[in-house]
Structure 1
Amino acid sequence: MQGLNEDVVCEFLAAHPDVLERIVTGPTVTRETFQRWSLRRASLTRKHSRKDFGDATLESRRRAILDHADNRVRILYELSQFCAQLVGTEAVELVIQNNEGAFTCKKTSEGELKLRKASFFSNNALWLTCLELSSTLVLKLKKHRKPASYVQSIINCAHQTIGELHFFVPVPETEKRWLNTLCMWASSVNYFAELSTHALASNGTEETHDNVARQRKLANFLLDVAKSIFHDIVSMDSVIIKVMNFAQKLVDADRASLFLVDAKSKEIYARIFDVGTGEEEHSRLSDTPQKEIRFDISKGIAGYVASTGEGLNIEEAYEDERFNAEVDSKTGYVTKTILCMPIFIRGAVIGVVQMVNKHTGVFTKQDEDSFEIFAVYCGLALHHAKLYDKIRRSEQKYRVALEVLAYHSVCNKDEVNKLKKIQINERVMELETFDFNGMRLSELEKPLYAVYMFRTLFSETLRFDVDDLTRFVLTVRKNYRRVAYHNWAHGWSVAHAMFVLLMKNKSLFTPNEALALFVSCLCHDLDHRGKNNAYMKTMSTPLAAIYTTSVMEHHHFNQTVTILQQDGHNILKSLTSDEYKQTLGLIKHCILATDLALFFANKARLNKIVDAGDFDITSPDHRSLTQAVLMTGCDLIASAKPWSIQTETVKVIFEEFYDQGDAERLSGKQPMAMMDRQQAHQLPQMQVGFMRGICLPCYELIGKVLPRAISLRDRCEYNATKWEELATEQKKSEEKLST
């Protein structure tokens, strides 16, 4: 037994496969283990079969298709080999349809494929098993075959089925989409090549030869397009950049822009507005995402093409009344010639490509014709990229939903009955002041007072079921996570601040507006994970994949809607359909406004209006800005509480910050000073910056709009001064230690 090792055992099993079979299929190996081995074997086999799926293989396939563009059988054979490598199988069955009868293939000594008539097939089809073994092509005619696991049809641009690929291994959904895309592009090239061959046969003039040469050059270009876009089709921005770059090359333009059509809003929009020539420009656009811009579909040259579906070839841009010269005046760029062409999918315009300033002369009819063919590829690429984006977002939403369901639950009957037994029948005056300390309330008292505040505000203006309200409040409590700061206690405090504001300014907002504001405050941080938006994006969390802006705030709103949709939780059910939509829309606006990244723009706009003396609370825009700023003020209410409450709250806030910093450090990232536990001694100084830079400007603005809330600014000023004193003492202590 001393000489027994792994090599000896492997050698023995290789020489006695029957022993290995008895072990593997015997009772000592469980079904789960056997299935796991099988899956691993299949994965390794597929990976091994793809070992040659590189640039060299792609180039050889591409060259073969170009050299045999007039030979449908050869093109379909090369396509079948490519698809076999993509799926990771050793064989694929190719079925070539032909109206004159079935054909078989024979390989000559020169390596060319020739056709021979085979009359014994009644279905006018050729069944071929195409294998490539030791660089030798083997073609086998099969009368009997097992059913295919998946069949991929090959349909040309004339909607004719010219062949089928039969796979006898399971093909994942993702690879089915790749196969579908590849077959559509390859069959399109074959169709146009056959048109060119037919034209050459019917007309032997020099002009026809030139046309065929151009068609072959275009086919070569389109194959490069297919190869390039194929690799990045899962990224919409990458596809857009590639489409614009290829559009430039196709018509020799200086610049190109691509606009997508938003059929719902009747607008055209672009995330990547303009691409110039050169790799440096391409890289810059890839690394620096640009802000989305939108235009009304009825305006401009691109809008005209998008709305009519007709291309425009403009030789003098400034002489066309539809041209907008404002962009040129801002950038200094001079637009001369424009070729603006639509991109269709299923008969509808989904996008517009605008190419500017042809390097040599003006855009020609040939440029227009070439782009019409190129637009087919653009449409397919953009359509599939959108599908992949939707699938990816759906998968991420599914993951988030599972996570939320695993963590949360709806309140139970015992909790509802327990809360209903306790009633607050008298007015609680101290609750109507900003100084009220919600931290001293028990877990039972918080939902009790939340119900009390709701009933106090809306008993006379809104019909609601008390049981529904109780269930709603208790379920909201359950949907706050047990994190250090952004928990149920914080949500309650923010709702209390809004309650006081609404009680002091009862006639300021309509009952439905007040309802939206209060509910928004109560729910504004639902399912908060104790991590900010920057962390979500940096760590590539599922939530960051779903929402590109205000990540957590969008999630908080969606959680609010989810609770309202639960049976017995809809406190808005007495509203009419229009009122319900308006109230829900305002709730979304208010919750998103708690993203501090949006506060600065809101503050600047409202300050400008107030300072100019133009503020009018009845103006929808002014009203919306006021509501947004009030949400921020309530969210920051801890900074305007008495000093004892303020200091206690700040400790909790920074404990959550430090938890995030610890998580970032574990991931190999250096946290910012505010999140760094090692920089805790700088807390007073950082708090001064926060109070002076964000909180005080917020409450000063609220004081201008709502004079009855001026006490918030005064309390915040007092607290900021106290933090400055602590920061000064801290600095003196550090100086003493350093000396």
Structure 2
Amino acid sequence: MTENLNSRNVEQYLIKNPEFLKSYLSKHGAPDITHKDGSHSEPSSPEIKIKRLPNFTSGRINSITTSIFKKYVEGNLERIKKTSKDRNQLLSMSEDEVFMELIRDISTELDVNVLCHKILKNVSILTRSDRGSLFLVRGSKDNRYLVSKLFDVTEVSTISESLHTEETEIIVPFGRGIAGFVAESKDTVNIKDAYEDPRFNKDVDLKTGYRTHSILCMPILNYEGEVIGVAQIINKVTGNHEFTKQDEEVFRKYLIFCGIGITNAQLFELSVQEYKRNQLLLNLARGVFEEQTSLERLIQKVMLDSQDMLKCERCTVYLTEDSTNKGGKNLTGMFAKILKKRFYKLLALAVHQDPHSEDDQVQVKAKPTSTKDVLFSMAFDLHAKDGGNIRIPSAAEVANSRNAEIARHVVLKGTPVNVSEIEIESMFGKVVGFEEDGYKTKNMLCMPIFNNEKKIIGVTQLVNKLNGVPFNENDANIIEAFSIFTGLGIHNCQMYENACRLMAKQTVALEVLSYHATAQQDETDKLVSSEFPTGQEIGLYTFEFNDIPLDELETVKCTITMFTEANLLAEFKIPLEVMCRWTLSVKKNYRPVTYHNWRHAFNVTQTMFTILYTGGLIKKFEGLEVLGLLVACLCHDLDHRGTNNAFQVKVASPLAMLYSTSVMEHHHFDHCIMILNSEGNNIFQSLSPAQYRNVIKMLEHAILSTDLALYFKKRGDFQKLVQSGETEYQDPYKKDLLKAMMMTACDVAAITKPWEIQEKVAQLVANEFFEQGDKERSELGETPMAMMDREKKDELPKMQVGFIDAICLPIYKTLTEQFGGLKPMLDGCLRNKEKWQEQPTQSLHLDEETEPVQSSPTPEQNGISQKPDSKELKRKDLDGQCEKKGSKVTNSKKTQFCILL
């Protein structure tokens, strides 16, 4: 037979018999062929596919033990039927044989009741005693007691006859009776006549009619020497009916093994209970996190699971008044405080509510000092008899409920309550065991529910176990875990409700703001019916263009002219009415700040128009790109607040919380999208989906590129690109670099204008910086940096020269090197640098308080009321000479200018 065995035959056999291979690997497989998930490695041969055994536990655990544990948990463990030794067989065995039999019993029996019943039977036979009993230790270390587990075990009694259930078990406190004395002292007690011992309780004999004579009682100890039980045998049936020293020795040896068996069986049972509890808690956690849209459905699921696990008659969940927040009161952290102080006030004004109303303010309540201070806003009540239907008691019922009074006590103390026989408890004053509805409360377990801030938001209350016994420590541990998940679930539900409420408020606010931020129909109609100047007439194609002589309406008309002469309205089918409304809406959404206002946006757009058509860069771009660049220029500073990104971060503004980088630039882009999405303002309405996606992407890139922090990062790459001789710019990345540099060149183009314009613009910029510096000094208590410090206003010429060297000249030199048509910008920048170097620092005087003048929109034109004491910027004479000297630019100065703008 073995002669025909070879590797090929074996392999063929294994292929045809995969179950045999699976069984063999399960029994004899080495750890190194076992996966981490407990399954066995499949053979590398593609022909052999063995279905993996379902995994039960992780880790390298003995497969036999795992199988036994799984069957035990599922209740499918088949007991090995062994024939019990009768009296004669047991007495004929040697002592070694008897203990080997005992060891076999311990190694194969996992049920502590069956094991102890067998031990007591054998001990009764070996010691010739009439019967025996087993008591196990229960309770905490401070309140331990014995419970009768096996009572009156004889050599012929069955386990069902001797086993005491929770309903029939006898409770014996430590130190009381013979068993209690042994448990407390750990001493052996051998009594010849029980009736002569004062510790013996004759009541049992009187009830049963049984006469107790002799008693041998011993403690059962674990490996740490702690008492885990007490065993006693009664009435020796031979001789003088007294237990001998030999009986004590036999009993002691048996109880050593009994202690081992009880400890092992209890540990195994504890692991099974823990496993079941974990499975139930995992199921609860899954349900909690699946159900986050309704607080009532969440509470119902938790209560049904709690009642099913702990087998109680009644389950009630009380929620404190603070837990059912209204208006998002429980939002926490710095952003929530800023949200309350700033956003809610603006929102309240938008929807015509009082920003200081009680509903929108966080109220910090004092900690309750009595149960009268504890108020429940809602309660959920579940009776086992009601078939899973949850009732919500009225406020009056909760107020008058005696069980609710105990729940208030739990909230007040912050600790669990586990009481039995409530009618005799005095800790709750006059509370008695009957509810208003006649329900009798026999025992109760109350557990506080905490939220993520360790604050009590409710109470879980379980009443009357179905088996009539009090709630034990294991029940308390289970309900404590339940309460943790309940708190998480309630918190998640409340956060979801808060988010929905805030989204609703945001929707209302956006609707209101959209209405007020959009140009009115009469304004639009008036603009549509007016005549528009040509670009040549107004000088839109020149680098020296001056907007100062134009009024506000003329700047809007010039904007329409640029889009029209770029053929964008015709190419992308933009209705003139939509174009006019959108332009007016964009203008309306610029705030009347000193510099970063509508006039600045208009000038940036005109510069881009000139770069494209006069500078000759129009050949590098398609029509959609031209549309995106002009729209980006007009919208690149929308809703500017007159402060920079660094200031937004310092004051922890909502914008800074919303955007982690390029704070204002992201806001400008989002505001641009909001206007486009407003009714009647979508100038992209005729674009295809692909065109729409592309132009929005271009808008975002172009507007974010105006952040000087990004400019410094990209400038080096662009310079390398120009130095390499790039002329086509067909690659998307290269074209994006060019667009980014063009946006910066347009944004700072005031530095290239004729001196009369540059001087005024520089003063406007400086005054806006000084206004921010004043805020930093007054609101934050900080000394502003030099360029924002009004006390250093006389240094403006020096700062302008530094600005030109650090920001302006590098970009205009690089662009001019590539595109000769942009040389007028470089020339203008160099002329203005010379002018600034000629200005004496001591003769420059700026107003302490300034508002934008002719070069910025009037309040009426912006549709926003202005304070009556606002001042116009007064032009100051700039004369004298300053030492002509170049300004060396350092990285620190780059950072300075980056922070400023």
**TM-score, normalised relative to structure 1:** 0.51
For 1:647 and 1:635, locate their aligned partners in 2 and report how far apart those are by CA, in whole Å: 16
In the superposition, relative to structure 1, how do residues 666 and 729 fare at CA in structure 2: closer, same or farther (>3 Å)? Answer: closer
1:134-192 C-alpha deviation (Å, 9 max, x unpaired): 688766524399xxxxxxxxxxxxxxxx9999x9xxxxxxx9999999889x99xx9xx
Q: How far apart are residue 486 of structure 1 and its match?
A: 1.1
Q: What is the correspondence of 1:33-72 to structure 2 with a 5 Å cutoff?
A: 72=310
Three-state SS of the structure 2 residue aligned to 1:113 is strand
Amino acid at match of 2:521: N
For 2:748 and 2:730, locate their aligned partners in 1 and report how far apart those are by CA, in whole Å: 26
| Aligned partners of 1:494 and 1:637 also within 8 Å | yes
Amino acid at match of 1:113: V
Three-state SS of the structure 2 residue aligned to 1:684 is helix
Three-state SS of the structure 2 residue aligned to 1:516 is helix
Three-state SS of the structure 1 residue aligned to 2:552 is coil
Task: Give 1:556's aligned residue.
Answer: 668
Task: Give 1:487's aligned residue.
Answer: 597
- Residue 422 of structure 1 pairs with residue 708 of structure 2: no
Q: How far apart are residue 93 of structure 1 and its match?
A: 4.4
- Residue 566 of structure 1 pairs with residue 678 of structure 2: yes
| Aligned partners of 1:530 and 1:656 also within 8 Å | yes
- Of the candidates 680, 685, 697, which is equivalent to residue 810 of structure 2? 697
Q: How far apart are residue 632 of structure 1 and its match?
A: 1.2
Task: Give 2:521's aligned residue.
Answer: 412
Structure 2 spans left out of the alignment, 5+ residues: 1-305, 325-372, 389-401, 407-416, 463-471, 845-879, 884-901
For 2:881 and 2:545, locate their aligned partners in 1 and report how far apart those are by CA, in whole Å: 35
For 2:715 and 2:430, locate their aligned partners in 1 and report how far apart those are by CA, in whole Å: 74
Q: How far apart are residue 638 of structure 1 and its match?
A: 0.6
Q: How far apart are residue 493 of structure 1 and its match?
A: 0.1
For 2:819 and 2:767, locate their aligned partners in 1 and report how far apart those are by CA, in whole Å: 33
| Aligned partners of 1:533 and 1:551 also within 8 Å | yes
Task: Give 1:113's aligned residue.
Answer: 419
Three-state SS of the structure 2 residue aligned to 1:618 is coil
- Of the candidates 704, 711, 716, which is equivalent to residue 824 of structure 2? 711
Amino acid at match of 1:98: A
Task: Give 1:595's aligned residue.
Answer: 707
For 2:656 and 2:504, locate their aligned partners in 1 and report how far apart those are by CA, in whole Å: 13
For 1:511 and 1:730, locate their aligned partners in 2 and report how far apart those are by CA, in whole Å: 49
- Of the candidates 90, 98, 106, which is equivalent to residue 375 of structure 2? 90
Q: How far apart are residue 449 of structure 1 and its match?
A: 1.1
For 2:490 and 2:731, locate their aligned partners in 1 and report how far apart those are by CA, in whole Å: 45
| Aligned partners of 1:83 and 1:179 also within 8 Å | no
Task: Give 2:437's aligned residue.
Answer: 143
Q: How far apart are residue 477 of structure 1 and its match?
A: 1.6
Task: Give 1:288's aligned residue.
Answer: none
- Of the candidates 544, 552, 567, which is equivalent to residue 458 of structure 1? 567
- Of the candidates 789, 793, 804, which is equivalent to residue 680 of structure 1? 793
For 1:85 and 1:471, locate their aligned partners in 2 and report how far apart those are by CA, in whole Å: 48
1:472-502 C-alpha deviation (Å, 9 max, x unpaired): 2222222222111111111110000010111
| Aligned partners of 1:476 and 1:523 also within 8 Å | yes
Amino acid at match of 1:143: D
Q: How far apart are residue 569 of structure 1 and its match?
A: 2.7
Task: Give 2:543's aligned residue.
Answer: 434
Amino acid at match of 2:583: V
For 2:511 and 2:554, locate their aligned partners in 1 and report how far apart those are by CA, in whole Å: 31
Q: What is the correspondence of 1:327-406 to structure 2 with a 5 Å cutoff?
A: 394=503, 401=510, 404=513
Task: Give 1:647's aligned residue.
Answer: 759
Task: Give 1:158's aligned residue.
Answer: none
For 1:611 and 1:382, locate their aligned partners in 2 and report how far apart those are by CA, in whole Å: 59
Amino acid at match of 2:437: K
Structure with larger RCO (C-alpha < 8 A, sep 6+)? 2
In the superposition, relative to structure 1, how do residues 415 and 85 fare at CA in structure 2: closer, same or farther (>3 Å)? Answer: closer
- Of the candidates 570, 574, 577, which is equivalent to residue 467 of structure 1? 577
For 2:485 and 2:526, locate their aligned partners in 1 and report how far apart those are by CA, in whole Å: 65
Task: Give 1:284's aligned residue.
Answer: none
- Residue 501 of structure 1 pairs with residue 611 of structure 2: yes
Q: How far apart are residue 425 of structure 1 and its match?
A: 5.2
| Aligned partners of 2:532 and 2:558 also within 8 Å | no
- Residue 544 of structure 1 pairs with residue 679 of structure 2: no
1:538-593 C-alpha deviation (Å, 9 max, x unpaired): 22333333333322222222222232233333222222121112112211221122
1:494-528 C-alpha deviation (Å, 9 max, x unpaired): 00001011112221111000000001111211222
Task: Give 1:5's aligned residue.
Answer: none
Task: Give 1:269's aligned residue.
Answer: none
For 1:382 and 1:448, locate their aligned partners in 2 and report how far apart those are by CA, in whole Å: 55
| Aligned partners of 1:703 and 1:713 also within 8 Å | yes
Q: What is the correspondence of 1:728-739 to structure 2 with a 5 Å cutoff?
A: none
Q: How far apart are residue 711 of structure 1 and its match?
A: 2.9
1:389-412 C-alpha deviation (Å, 9 max, x unpaired): 966985895697489559644143
Bigger helix fraction: 1
Amino acid at match of 1:467: E
For 1:507 and 1:531, locate their aligned partners in 2 and report how far apart those are by CA, in whole Å: 37
Three-state SS of the structure 2 residue aligned to 1:507 is helix
Three-state SS of the structure 2 residue aligned to 1:95 is strand
Task: Give 1:15's aligned residue.
Answer: none
In the superposition, relative to structure 1, how do residues 381 and 618 fare at CA in structure 2: closer, same or farther (>3 Å)? Answer: farther
| Aligned partners of 1:399 and 1:542 also within 8 Å | no
Task: Give 2:733's aligned residue.
Answer: 621
Three-state SS of the structure 2 residue aligned to 1:141 is coil
Q: How far apart are residue 95 of structure 1 and its match?
A: 2.7
In the superposition, relative to structure 1, how do residues 136 and 512 fare at CA in structure 2: closer, same or farther (>3 Å)? Answer: farther
| Aligned partners of 2:535 and 2:541 also within 8 Å | no
Three-state SS of the structure 1 residue aligned to 2:776 is helix
Amino acid at match of 1:430: G
For 2:592 and 2:317, locate their aligned partners in 1 and report how far apart those are by CA, in whole Å: 56
Task: Give 1:286's aligned residue.
Answer: none
Structure 1 spans left out of the alignment, 5+ residues: 1-67, 117-127, 146-161, 168-174, 191-200, 202-211, 231-376
For 1:75 and 1:626, locate their aligned partners in 2 and report how far apart those are by CA, in whole Å: 76
For 1:682 and 1:76, locate their aligned partners in 2 and report how far apart those are by CA, in whole Å: 80
Q: How far apart are residue 667 of structure 1 and its match?
A: 1.0
Three-state SS of the structure 1 residue aligned to 2:593 is coil
| Aligned partners of 2:312 and 2:384 also within 8 Å | no
Task: Give 1:476's aligned residue.
Answer: 586
In the superposition, relative to structure 1, how do residues 144 and 660 fare at CA in structure 2: closer, same or farther (>3 Å)? Answer: farther
In the superposition, relative to structure 1, how do residues 101 and 424 fare at CA in structure 2: closer, same or farther (>3 Å)? Answer: closer
In the superposition, relative to structure 1, how do residues 689 and 391 fare at CA in structure 2: closer, same or farther (>3 Å)? Answer: farther
Q: How far apart are residue 684 of structure 1 and its match?
A: 1.6
For 2:375 and 2:505, locate their aligned partners in 1 and report how far apart those are by CA, in whole Å: 34
Q: How far apart are residue 433 of structure 1 and its match?
A: 1.5
Runs of 4+ in 1 over 6 A off after TM superposition: 68-71, 73-77, 99-102, 104-107, 131-138, 162-165, 175-184, 222-227, 380-386, 727-735
Amino acid at match of 2:632: S
| Aligned partners of 1:95 and 1:164 also within 8 Å | no
Q: What is the correspondence of 1:155-170 to structure 2 with a 5 Å cutoff?
A: none
In the superposition, relative to structure 1, how do residues 132 and 479 fare at CA in structure 2: closer, same or farther (>3 Å)? Answer: farther
- Residue 667 of structure 1 pairs with residue 776 of structure 2: no
Amino acid at match of 1:676: D
For 2:740 and 2:662, locate their aligned partners in 1 and report how far apart those are by CA, in whole Å: 14
Amino acid at match of 1:717: L
| Aligned partners of 1:439 and 1:489 also within 8 Å | no
Q: How far apart are residue 132 of structure 1 and its match?
A: 12
Q: How far apart are residue 422 of structure 1 and its match?
A: 1.8
